[in-house]
Amino acid sequence: MNRRQTCNYEFRNEDLNAVKRLVPPLNALKEPVCVLDDTWEIITKDTDSRLVKYYSGDLCRFLNDAFGIYPRVRRVTDVQAALKNPLHKIFLLEAEDVADAPVCSDMKNAFHITVTPESVIVIGRSERGTAQGVYYMEDHMKLRGEAKLEEEAQEHAPLFSPRMSHSGVELDTFPDTFLEACAHAGMDAIIVYAGHPDTTLHGFPDPDPLWPGSGIGYCDFNNLVWRAEGYGLDVYVYSHMRCDVHPRDPKAREYYEASFGTLFRKAPGLKGIIFVGETFEFPSLDSHTSGIRAQLKDPADPRPSPGWYPCFDYPELVTMVRDTIFRYNPDADILFWTYNWGWAPKEERLALIKNLPKDITLHVTFDMFEKFTDENGTPYTVDDYSISFEGPAQVFIDEAREAMQQGIRLYSQTNTGGRTWDSGITPYLPVPQQWQRRYEKLREAHDKYNLRGLMENHHYGWMPSFLTLFEKNAFTTNTISDGEMLRRIAIRDFGPAADKALQAWNLFSEGIRKVIPAGCDQYGPYRSGPTYPLLFDQTQSDLAMPSVGWATHGGFEIWFPEYPEVDFENPAPVLMRYRRVLQTKELFRQGCALLNEAVTECSAMPDSDVARQAAVAGFLHSTYVTCANVMRWNIAKCLLKALAKGCEHACDAALLEAIGVPQTGDTSSQINILAGLMRQIADEETANTLQALRYYETDSRIGFEPTMEYVFDYEHAAWKNAETQRSLAQLEAFIQTYNI
């Protein structure tokens, strides 16, 4: 029988919160417990609130779908009277409804839950807190596979607010099922791009974009705010609006009123706005910079454009924009993100923070710019978002301390939604023990530096996975330990094979810690996965990779197919990255073998969540195979071409040894051995690409990133393999040219 071909975007047809009939796993509770059945009622106050109606109905649907239990939802006008008769009732209330409500936290999403054998009372600090109490009950019933709750009486509050996310299903697009999933995950805000007062970046090509390739599509921001509110979510906009007038210019007030003022005048319900250097550039007077934004900068000018430097006059721009926005929303959260100049001297970065207005939010990336030395003494840096280093980076520490001293609210970009540039087209990284290390560091930063809010991801967005509950538990007070929660999740998903899953996750976590987050790989094979080509003489202009017209970052805009040549004067970085990726590849191979055994032992169906998790892990392994093959091919190619040219570095012993090629002393023989190796690598990589397709067929989220759209699928695999054959033909022609 022919296998059905997977269609792109199939994941969008799924209910992200669908609950199948549950059965008790090993997490099932022993007495004493609260046992729910058809005799129970769900009690809420009588209200027109969309959120109250949603979460009460959500609990009812959950009990129906998971256990076949059909409770009645009853709305009452006299809450106090209803509380006098609590038998077999689940009360979903707010602090304002109850005298002496035991909710101490002032966080909106905080709640107190009291569970006895006879009743359940959830009291939220606000409606949003009550909603989180509902999801808390559902999460714990899922862990047990039964309609039972442990007896408890305590408060649970989020450590961080906001926890905000871009859309993972489609750029700037938020279907209800995604909003529901965000709320269930404990997130309380979403992020949408704004290129103009009424548009996002998703849509038709913008004829005059700030960044090349940016789209333009109408967005009813007020409707998005309204819809999000129905699930307890705020809306932040991420600015792509131009700032081409210096705040000292006499026309500046009018200029910024037309952009940011118009946006917040039309949509005053927006919670806040995010500014980052690369899309918040202005004609700075700082002589360290070109004084003009990147798109207009003279390439011959060695100075950075203003968005990549902590310009002394940035506080003037922030103040101008803040005042413009505050006229329409005095409570707007103004985020100023220091992402682009973490490389700059500490003194200059901190001087900027000292001069910022105190009623905005400083936003600092958690992991970037940290410098390391590998086991052989070779230096490297965390170039872009990575979980290989849990953080915090010294840049974060320095800027967080300064923010605290200045009394400025502090948020961080943390990638805790589960995705980083360690693999751009993998929906999440199944490395929970490494994520746990980051959670621990973030909790420390909360206590030490008053870290208050998180951006969970960049434009690659977030999608639900087994990590979702793991993170929510870690970022909530009075919950079980990280280790215990991970164990329960493993039992929930893998039953008697839970130990193998835990071992596999640990191998993956160990493997990701070996990754070198170098720009050439993060903007190369890590970002594109097995689509990354093996090139011989082709340049980027020779390549016509499949790309849809509506991709904001289509083609090679944010990944580069030409792998950098070997620097024969300093091959140590190449050898380091190759050595490390081999270690990562092997650890993922071992982990995938264990995880596949676990999937088999728990008799999972091919479309089950655990089978999809195994596919995600398998695709990551294929990505590391590709990266290793690209490095090995590139080393062999550079050596081969150097030999043909008689280069003195052509027989570098360390490079030859790294790729398993003996030193022969004879040029013709050496070239033939290298060519043979390249043919072998090409065959291995073609097989690896075909194997990666099997993983994509299991989970259609694989290969997709919201701004790049699909970068791996059937079409991309065919293109990659055709390009491999083209390279092999060029290899043969090269050998014939040199009469070898």
Q: Three-class SS string for 271-283?
A: CEEEEEHHHCCCC
pLDDT at 12: 92
Segment 205-218, tens digit of pLDDT:
888 888 877 788 89
HSE (CB half, 13 Å, CA atoms) of 406? 22
Q: Residue 737: pLDDT above 90? A: no
Q: Are 243 and 280 in contact (CB under 8 A)?
A: yes
Q: Are 238 and 192 in contact (CB under 8 A)?
A: yes
Neighbours of 173 (CB within 10 A): 17
- In this prediction, residues 133-147 reach a mean pLDDT of 96
Per-residue confidence band for 1, with pLDDT thresholds at 50, 70 and 90: very low
| Sequence-ordered list of residues with C-beta below 8 angstroms from that of 77, at least 6 positions apart, any chain | 45, 46
What pTM does this model have? 0.96
Q: Residue 151: pLDDT above 80? A: yes
Q: Which class is domain 10-156?
A: alpha beta
Looking at residue 478, the DSSP 8-state letter turns out to be: T
- What Å distances lie between residue 698 and 93, 490, 618, CA to CA? 42, 20, 11
Share above pLDDT 90 across residues of the chain, in percent, rounded to a whole number:
89
580: three-class secondary structure by DSSP: helix
Segment 566-619, tens digit of pLDDT:
999 999 999 999 999 999 999 999 999 999 999 999 877 777 899 999 999 999
Domain ranges for the chain, please list them: 10-156, 509-737
